[in-house]
Amino acid sequence: TGKLRLILGDQLTATLPVLTEADKNQDVVLMAEVREEATYVKHHKKKIILLFSAMRHFAQSLKDDGFQVNYRCYDDKENQGSLLGEVQAAIKAHNLSEVVVTEPGEYRLLKSMQQWEHQLSVPVSVLPDARFYATKQEFSAWADGRKTLRMEFWYREMRKKHGILMDNGAPAGGDWNYDSKNRVSMPANVSPPEPSRYKPDAVTTEVIELVEREFASHFGDSDGFHYAVTREGALDVLNTFIEQRLPDFGRYQDAMRHNAVWLFHSHLSFYINCGLLSPQEVVQQAEAAYHAGEAPLNSVEGFIRQIIGWREFVRGFYWYYMPGLQSDNYFNAKRDLPSFFWDGYTNMNCLRQCITDTKKHAYAHHIQRLMVLGNFSLLCEFAPEQVQEWYLLVYADAYEWVELPNVAGMILFADGGNLASKPYVASGSYINKMSDYCKNCGYSVSKKTGEGACPFNYLYWRFLDAHQDKLRKNPRMGLVYKSYDRMATEKIEAMKHDASRFLTKLSKNEEV
């Protein structure tokens, strides 16, 4: 008898062995929209729209390709509410004798799947997910025995091993990294191209109605959905990025602009993470643009580093450090997230902009997630589990394997430095350098204390003051503590006083 082949919502890839090895006559493919996956955190409405619509389109493409597909819609009366329940029902309905699935991206689901064989009383094969450049084992072998794990060294290994941007064994152009040419602020006269937008078709329109009905209490706006939901659409987003944005990607990678969220970023994470695009094809296209003289090396190298460097690194890191990573709390942070993280209602323009963009689009670009939202979360010592949950549910590209290392490691330093060499903290002047947010803010970025001073300024010095015991010994913090030591005691006391008043207001959810 045949096998049941389960495809998860982020496994929409036709070349996965779970599909290519199928016997189309006997086997049945199962895809299911289930309450358990859609509500284990209250995902942003647009994230659910994207996934359910992409799942429905993918199921149709499999049917067109001759597969027998059992697709369970969310509002089907028979819906079992969980993946296990759906697998059980499908085995029975089609009289199947074995289950095959690709390993899930999240630890929680892998642990649960490891019980399935016992619970279902049929064999369950969990196949490796080969959609990454490196296997989990390859990362562990690289990491074992190293004192510190640094993305940059991992990245160079990947470049060499896969021959990406290499010239006779040396990095193209002579350097591994061209960030000295990147990260400039964006002049006011630069106009980034409009993002690719797709009008919802009948399938997406039905899903939007479903989500508005069933997930009304979830975070985020459902109107104005314009993401691609098919492989063809995702390829179109990729081609448009390579043509229109990649040339300026590097230069403006760290820039932020008032009322503008898309800038020169690729907006590809949605599609790479759910399987509609492979990281390999994205990297190959970017490299080809460099060789064709269509994009400069600093942009292409910077972009490729995000994928074969950061993306692969955090995935390996996640599996290497789970489950401990979930509960790490180096600074013993325990403040609650303020309510304005959900509605954007604050006078701090940078936060208002980033939260509003997130709420509208289930997207914010990297530097908004890092320099504004992340920096603030660390400075205010929000409880890691609350910050982790927030990031996991608000972004349409978020799955725990990629979200958690970025939150626990990159922004909160909750792992004590396994991922980052120092905490990413910055005062208002850095935000002002990289954005035009401060011009549009009720606070004054040049004011350090007193009425109307930018909260990032005093929160920054308070944080350094509070965590000296842990941070002074970090060689990369040496310069910062030199400035701190030169500061007059009264100035430090005034900042601590303002910071304490601010944090008390936050705790009481008063307007800031």
Q: Should residue 10 be labelled a site residue for ligand FAD when binding is judged by CB under 6 A?
A: no
Considering CB under 6 A, how many residues would be counted as binding ligand FAD? 28
Which of ligand SF4, ligand FAD, ligand DLZ, none is residue 359 near (CB under 5 to 8 Å by kind)? none
Residues in 148-187 that interact with ligand DLZ by CB under 6 A: none
Which of 27, 397, 415, 498 contacts ligand FAD by CB under 6 A? 397
- Chain centroid to CA 47: 12
Both tokens assigned to 72: 């369970």
Q: Should residue 317 be labelled a site residue for ligand FAD when binding is judged by CB under 6 A?
A: no
Q: Return residues touching ligand SF4 (CB under 6 A).
A: 348-350, 428, 431-432, 437-438, 441, 443, 445, 454-456
C-beta of 38 vs 91, nearer to ligand FAD: 38
Write down the least CB distance from residue 406 to ligand FAD, Å: 4
Taking phi over 0 as left and psi of -120 to 50 as alpha, with beta for the rest, 344 belongs to left
**Can you list the pairs that 352-358 forms with residues at least 24 positions away whose Cβ atoms lie under 8 Å?**
353/256, 353/258, 353/259, 353/437, 357/261, 358/220, 358/394, 358/395
Q: What is the spatial distance between Cα 263 and Cα 267, in angstroms, rounded to a whole number? A: 10
Residues contacting 397, CB < 8 A, separation 6+? 269, 270, 273, 363
Which of 398, 425, 477, 506 contacts ligand FAD by CB under 6 A? 398
Both tokens assigned to 321: 């450090």
C-beta of 88 vs 349, nearer to ligand SF4: 349
Which of 11, 80, 102, 266 contacts ligand FAD by CB under 6 A? 266
C-beta of 269 vs 432, nearer to ligand SF4: 432
Q: Which residue is nearest to ligand DLZ (CB)?
A: 9
Q: Should residue 395 be labelled a site residue for ligand FAD when binding is judged by CB under 6 A?
A: yes
Which of ligand DLZ, ligand SF4, ligand FAD, none is residue 268 near (CB under 5 to 8 Å by kind)? ligand FAD
Residues in 31-90 that interact with ligand DLZ by CB under 6 A: 32-34, 37-38, 43, 48, 51
Q: How is 305-373 classified by DSSP, letter by letter? A: IIIIIIIHHHHHHHHHHTTGGGT--TT---BPPPTHHHH---S-HHHHHHHHHHHHHS---HHIIIIII
Q: How is 249-265 classified by DSSP, letter by letter? A: HTTTTT-BBTTB--TT-
Which of 104, 192, 279, 296 contacts ligand DLZ by CB under 6 A? 104
- Supply φ then ψ for residue 328, to 5 degrees: -60, 140
Buried b (16+ CB within 10 A) or exposed e, 50-69: bbbbbbbbbbeebeeeebbb
Edge-to-edge strand ranges of the sheet holding 3-6:
68-72, 28-32, 3-6, 98-102, 124-127
CA angle 149, 417, 385 (to 5 degrees): 115
C-beta of 9 vs 374, nearer to ligand FAD: 374
Which of 3, 4, 5, 9 contacts ligand DLZ by CB under 6 A? 9
Write down the least CB distance from residue 47 to ligand DLZ, Å: 6
DSSP collapsed to 3 states, 364-409:
CCHHHHHHHHHHHHHHCCECHHHHHHHHHHHCCCCCHHHHHHHHHH
**Do strands 166-167 and 170-171 pair parallel, antiparallel, or not at all (unpaired)?**
antiparallel
**CA distances, 185 to each of 179, 224, 249 (Å):** 13, 29, 12
Which of ligand DLZ, ligand SF4, ligand FAD, none is residue 398 near (CB under 5 to 8 Å by kind)? ligand FAD
Which of 109, 272, 300, 495 contacts ligand FAD by CB under 6 A? 272
Both tokens assigned to 158: 């990947």
Q: What is the spatial distance between Cα 244 and Cα 232, in angstroms, rounded to a whole number? A: 18
Q: How many other CB atoms are there within 10 angstroms of residue 199's CB atom?
A: 8
* Span from 155-163, 392-400, 433-441, 442-450 in contact with ligand FAD (CB under 6 A): 392-400
Which of ligand DLZ, ligand SF4, ligand FAD, none is residue 34 near (CB under 5 to 8 Å by kind)? ligand DLZ
Which of ligand FAD, ligand DLZ, ligand SF4, none is residue 104 near (CB under 5 to 8 Å by kind)? ligand DLZ
C-beta of 30 vs 420, nearer to ligand FAD: 420
Q: What is the spatial distance between Cα 392 and Cα 397, in angstroms, rounded to a whole number? A: 9
Q: Should residue 457 be labelled a site residue for ligand FAD when binding is judged by CB under 6 A?
A: no
Please choose, from the candidates 235, 231, 246, the residue with its C-alpha nearest in 3D space to the C-alpha of residue 288. Answer: 246
Q: What is the spatial distance between Cα 242 and Cα 299, in angstroms, rounded to a whole number? A: 11
C-beta of 43 vs 159, nearer to ligand DLZ: 43
C-beta of 250 vs 455, nearer to ligand SF4: 455
C-beta of 306 vs 457, nearer to ligand FAD: 306
Write down the least CB distance from residue 339 to ligand DLZ, Å: 24
| 257 touches 435 (CB < 8 A) | yes
* Span from 63-71, 173-181, 186-194, 263-271 in contact with ligand FAD (CB under 6 A): 263-271
Site string for ligand DLZ, 371-400 (x = CB under 6 A): ----------------------------x-
Which of ligand DLZ, ligand SF4, ligand FAD, none is residue 437 near (CB under 5 to 8 Å by kind)? ligand SF4
DSSP collapsed to 3 states, 424-469:
CCCCHHHHHHHECCHHHCCCECCCCCCCCECHHHHHHHHHHHHCHH
| 263 touches 251 (CB < 8 A) | no
Residues in 400-419 that interact with ligand FAD by CB under 6 A: 402-403, 406-407, 410-411
Q: Which residues bind ligand DLZ (CB under 6 A)?
A: 8-10, 32-34, 37-38, 43, 48, 51, 104-106, 109, 399
Q: Which residues bind ligand FAD (CB under 6 A)?
A: 265-269, 272-273, 303, 306-307, 310-311, 314, 365-366, 369-370, 374, 391, 395, 397-398, 402-403, 406-407, 410-411
